[in-house]
């Protein structure tokens, strides 16, 4: 099931969010400076109240890690089924025009109700986060000599936003690939990627999936990016808009988007061995306070800033997303080569 977000409702939402006092915390920098941390707490949304009472960690009642062990069905589609070059997934190089398609996802336990003011305001926060993250990435890439144009504005181009209803559970995102099977099939059948790319003049695309997660959710946002053929070429950032009772912020948006271009996490060991990030390096980066956005997403005080991203793309991340062809850090630590080596 799909429904293009009604432009009129969104415009109404936008004007409400811009002018109504209730929602000013997203836009008013002073509210963060005043330390109004409570503003960032999640509000009761349209999900069913009480359904998570027995489950403080937000997982399904069964062991979440035993949920889907059948792996993904990555070869379900041929490369020719995709309207983009699949060699590095749907998002390949941080260069030129890149479409960002937003999907407000209703799954088995969460849903969006755009008649509900809280949900409207949360969808507006998603837009604001995406805007700040996109501008941050464009500005930072400029420092590396790249002219990046992330085309995300669904007010300007309504074809960039959808509501999708899928038969999966966001809480299985870390346990197997069933969610990717379902999401990829849904994208393939419901989202006219080819015509969107044609319309905006882009040849790459990032898919942002927003879930209206409950206050009890403890599962953090994550990205299933295409890496060495081990997943679908559709690169999906799974954004859980409430986690640990805190609303999602611009820096995690930029962090997840960078994953689609090949960036590894720098706060945890690379268990799959794709980059070679080890515990020794993770400890070192923490001890030295490395302010790389792939390691940290707040200004250093543990509190999100909803108006600005304070973190950097340091040499290691720049190398792994293909902005540079060399990283002293990678050389010094003996990490694996970037997926961009040998491309182009």
Binding site for Zn ion (CB under 5 A): 265
Closest CA to 112 of 211, 12, 218, 187: 211
CB of 256 to Zn ion, least distance (A): 6
In the complex, the smallest distance separating the C-beta of residue 112 from Zn ion, rounded to whole angstroms, is 24
Backbone angles phi, psi at 37, to 5 degrees: -60, -35
DSSP letters of 23-64? Answer: GGGGT-HHHHHTT-GGGGB----SSPTTTTTT-TT---SS-G
Paired sense of beta strands 222-224 and 205-211, if any: unpaired
Tell me the C-alpha to C-alpha distance, in Å, between residue 160 and each of 60, 99, 206, 225, 234. Answer: 31, 8, 11, 20, 15
The distance of closest approach from Cβ of residue 138 to Zn ion in the complex, given in angstroms and rounded to an integer, is 20
Which of 205, 203, 88, 192 has its CA nearest to residue 152?
Answer: 205
Query: Which lies closer to Zn ion via its Cβ, residue 119 or residue 248?
Result: 248
CB of 252 to Zn ion, least distance (A): 8
Query: How many angstroms separate the first and last alpha carbons of the chain?
Result: 38
Task: Tell me the residue nearest to Zn ion as measured from the CB.
Answer: 265
Minimum distance from residue 42 beta carbon to Zn ion (Å): 21
CA–CA separation, 104 and 239 (whole Å):
10
Return the number of the residue (153 or 270) whose C-beta is nearest Zn ion.
270
Alpha carbon distance 128, 134 (integer Å): 10
Closest by CA to 134, choosing from 25, 222, 258, 26, is 258
User: Considering the complex, what minimum distance in angstroms separates the CB of residue 255 from Zn ion?
Assistant: 6
Q: How far is the CB of 319 from Zn ion (least distance, A)?
A: 17
Our CB check for Zn ion shows the closer of 160 and 258 to be: 258
Among residues 174 and 265, whose Cβ is nearest to Zn ion? Answer: 265
Question: Which pair of tokens denotes residue 292?
Answer: 């790389």
Query: Toward Zn ion, which CB reaches closer, 157 or 246?
Result: 246
Q: Using the minimum distance from each CB to Zn ion, give the nearer residue, 85 or 265.
A: 265
User: Closer CB to Zn ion, residue 39 or residue 265?
Assistant: 265
Nearer to Zn ion, 42 or 293 (CB): 293
Q: Give DSSP secondary structure letters for 125-173.
A: HHHHHHHHHHHHHHHHHHHTT--EEEE--TTT-GGGEEEEE-SS-GGGT
> Please, which residues bridge with residue 163 across strands?
3, 104
Q: Provide, rounded to whole angstroms, the least separation between the CB of residue 270 and Zn ion.
A: 11
Alpha-carbon Rg for the chain in angstroms: 19
């Amino acid at each position: 099931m799909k429904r293009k977000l009604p432009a009129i409702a969104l415009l109404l939402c936008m004007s409400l969010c811009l002018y109504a006092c209730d929602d000013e915390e997203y836009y008013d920098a002073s509210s963060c400076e005043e330390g109004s941390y409570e503003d960032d707490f999640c509000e009761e949304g349209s999900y069913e109240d009480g359904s998570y009472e027995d489950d403080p960690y937000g997982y399904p009642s069964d062991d979440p890690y035993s949920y889907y062990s059948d792996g993904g069905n990555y070869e379900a589609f041929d490369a020719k089924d995709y309207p983009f070059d699949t060699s590095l997934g749907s998002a390949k190089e941080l260069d030129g025009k890149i479409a960002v398609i937003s999907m407000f996802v209703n799954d088995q336990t969460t849903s969006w109700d755009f008649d509900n003011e809280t949900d409207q305001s949360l969808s507006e926060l998603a837009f604001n986060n995406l805007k700040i993250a996109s501008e941050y990435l464009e500005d930072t890439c400029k420092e590396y000599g790249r002219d990046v144009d992330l085309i995300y504005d669904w007010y300007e181009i309504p074809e960039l936003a959808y509501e999708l209803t899928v038969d999966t559970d966001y809480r299985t995102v870390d346990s197997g690939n069933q969610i990717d099977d379902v999401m990829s099939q849904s994208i393939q059948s419901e989202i006219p990627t080819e015509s969107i790319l044609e319309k905006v003049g882009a040849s790459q695309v990032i898919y942002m999936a927003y879930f209206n997660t409950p206050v009890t959710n403890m599962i953090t946002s994550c990205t299933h990016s295409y890496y060495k053929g081990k997943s679908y070429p559709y690169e999906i950032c799974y954004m859980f808009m409430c986690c640990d009772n805190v609303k999602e912020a611009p820096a995690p948006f930029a962090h997840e988007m960078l994953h689609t271009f090949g960036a590894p996490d720098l706060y945890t060991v690379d268990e799959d061995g794709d980059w070679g990030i080890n515990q020794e390096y993770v400890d070192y980066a923490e001890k030295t306070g490395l302010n790389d956005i792939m390691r940290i997403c707040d200004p250093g005080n543990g509190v999100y800033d909803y108006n600005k991203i304070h973190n950097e793309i340091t040499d290691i991340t720049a190398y792994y997303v293909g902005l540079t062809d060399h990283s002293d850090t990678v050389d010094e630590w003996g990490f694996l080569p970037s997926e961009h080596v040998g491309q182009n």
